[in-house]
Amino acid sequence: MKLVLTSFLLFLSAAAHAQLGNTMYGLARTTNPAAVYLATVDPATGIAINISQTSVSSSINLTGAALNPYNNHFCFFGDNGLKSVDLSTGQLSSTAVINNPNGTGYFDLFRFNTSDSLMYGLSRRNVTNPQSGAVTASMYLATINELTGTITEISPSSIGSGFSLSGSAIDPHQMVFYYSIGAQLIGLDMYDGSIFSNPTLTYPNGGQYFDNFTYSCADTSLYGLVRTNYYSQVYNPQTMTTSQVFDSAAVHLGKVNAMTGEVTKISTQSTGVTSFSVNGSSTIDPINMVYYFMSGSGSGLAMYGVSLQTGLVVSQSPISNANALYFDMMRIQSDCYESRPTRLDISADVQAPMVQTENVQVYPNPFLDEVTISSETELQKIELYQANGLLLSINKFSGYEFTMETSHLVPGFYFLHVTTPKGKEIVKILK
């Protein structure tokens, strides 16, 4: 006879979901002498404080950066390889030279994916035709090993030859990597590296460019800066011709529908800036729903915070750092922390009637109104998570089998964290 145990059940709201600190990290730079330091910044005041006591590099590559909240490292490409810096001490943990088994090349636009703890980016290299000798540029979705610099290409064939400096973003729920080639937003399937979507960007309510885009786990949307350039007609009496000369620009916070390419301004009111730091110098505070970007340079460098809900500037803080002139590649530690995929990997098999790990059995899967967890060793705690990382319930008890009532759950993927004396096992389940 199956024994169903009475348990202590605790439901948690999104507000109670445990998160990391909301600290913003980035790279503070000087030019004379050339030096780079890991630093934190208070976006409300603009005060940046170096964590690194000594320089960790003499330069940075603005085509990518990644913050790993699980091992507390900040990664970027410096003067001699992929650098990993400890968030607590600011000390350089490792420097890895790029190693691509398929050929010499580059690794760009990389970001950390919190749903599988891997760093994804674009692997670029030249491919030579053995018959004709012709050389063509190729590009692949790939991952990189932080410690060894080894690149693993995922795309079975080239998905392009280049990108614009508009930024990159990872949707850890749909498992899609986004980059831009200017007129198009390209989404790559992170399971197999193929093109997931490639819509042409359109601007129904104005705009010409969509830059510095990044993903918001707070509302599962892609945000960026919508830029409109304005030109004046200038007449040259000597040549009797008229030409266009750049006059000014307007910058609005916007969002994009990743499947259709439609870009929408959040507010009709401009942010008040005419220029901004490109490619990667943006981040989102998921708790306060604010998009941050940098504008200006040197003593005029300032951080702007824009509300995701209204599109209005909520903070404007000149960067103040006694030891640096620039602040780049901002990343917030809690952004997308412990997110979970909601889109199924088509190569994964979840149709079996029972999921069995080394110690835990879960059935049926897929499930409807209830799911049973059993173990050869004593069950101690069962945690149920939504795919986006929200903790729904905790069941604490002693026993070898537990049946969970699930009729109230909406269809989708969930994760069970099952704790026994042997440790914790994670099982993906589908309703």
What DSSP assignment string belongs to 296-319?
S-GGG-EEEEEETTT--EEEEEE-
Q: Are residues 47 and 163 in the same domain?
A: yes
Mind listing the pLDDT tens digit for each residue in 256-285? 999 999 999 999 999 999 888 876 679 999
Q: Domain of 397?
A: 8-14+343-430
The pLDDT of residue 38: 96
**Around 372, how many Cα atoms within 13 Å sit in the side-chain half-sphere?**
14
Q: Are residues 259 and 377 in the same domain?
A: no
Q: Are residues 162 and 30 in the same domain?
A: yes
Q: How far is it, in rounded angstroms, from Cα 34 to Cα 38? A: 14
Q: Are residues 228 and 348 in the same domain?
A: no
* The pLDDT of residue 215 is above 90: yes
More confident residue, 101 or 231: 101
Q: Are residues 273 and 359 in the same domain?
A: no
Q: At which of 332, 365, 400 does a domain end? A: 332
Q: Are residues 148 and 210 in the same domain?
A: yes
* The pLDDT of residue 226 is above 90: yes
b/e string for 351-377 if b means 16 or more Cβ within 10 A? eeeebeeeebbbeebebeeebbbbbee
Q: Are residues 132 and 31 in the same domain?
A: yes
β-strands 8-11, 391-405 pairing: antiparallel
Q: Are residues 71 and 186 in the same domain?
A: yes
The pLDDT of residue 2: 32
Report the predicted TM-score, pTM, of the whole model to 2 decimal places: 0.76
Query: DSSP letter string over 391-426?
Result: EEEEEEEEEEEEEEE-TTSPSSEEEEEEEETTEEEE
- Is 1 contained in some domain? no
Q: Are residues 310 and 399 in the same domain?
A: no
Q: How confident is the model at residue 299 (pLDDT cuts 50, 70, 90)?
A: low
The pLDDT of residue 32: 82
Q: At which of 304, 332, 360 does a domain end? A: 332
How many domains, in total, are found in the chain? 2
- Is 338 contained in some domain? no
Long-range (24+ apart) CB contacts under 8 A made by 6-15 are 6/397, 7/395, 7/396, 7/397, 7/402, 8/394, 8/395, 8/396, 8/397, 9/393, 9/394, 9/395, 10/393, 10/394, 11/392, 11/393, 12/391, 12/392, 12/393, 12/394, 14/390
The pLDDT of residue 108: 94
- Is 31 contained in some domain? yes
Q: At which of 332, 351, 370 does a domain end? A: 332
CA torsion, ordered 100, 102, 104, 109, to nearest 10 deg: -60
Q: How far is it, in rounded angstroms, from Cα 319 to Cα 330? A: 13
Q: Which of 10-19, 125-134, 185-194, 314-323 has the highest mean pLDDT?
A: 185-194
- Is 94 contained in some domain? yes
Mind listing the pLDDT tens digit for each residue in 400-410? 999 999 988 87
Q: Are residues 381 and 315 in the same domain?
A: no
- Is 337 contained in some domain? no
Residue type, 428: K
* The pLDDT of residue 9 is above 50: no
The enclosing domain of 162 has a CATH number of: 2.120.10.30
Mind listing the pLDDT tens digit for each residue in 30-62? 888 899 999 999 998 989 999 999 999 999 988
Q: Are residues 378 and 260 in the same domain?
A: no
Q: Please state, rounded to an integer, the average pLDDT across all residues of the chain.
A: 85
- Is 3 contained in some domain? no
Distance of CA 242 to the CA centre of its chain: 45
Mind listing the pLDDT tens digit for each residue in 143-192? 999 999 999 999 999 999 999 989 999 999 999 999 999 899 999 999 99
Q: Are residues 167 and 274 in the same domain?
A: yes
Percent of the chain with pLDDT over 90: 52
Q: For 69-114, where are the E strands, in sequence order?
A: 73-78, 81-86, 92-96, 105-113
Percent of the chain with pLDDT over 70: 87
* The pLDDT of residue 13 is above 50: no
The enclosing domain of 379 has a CATH number of: 2.60.40.3080
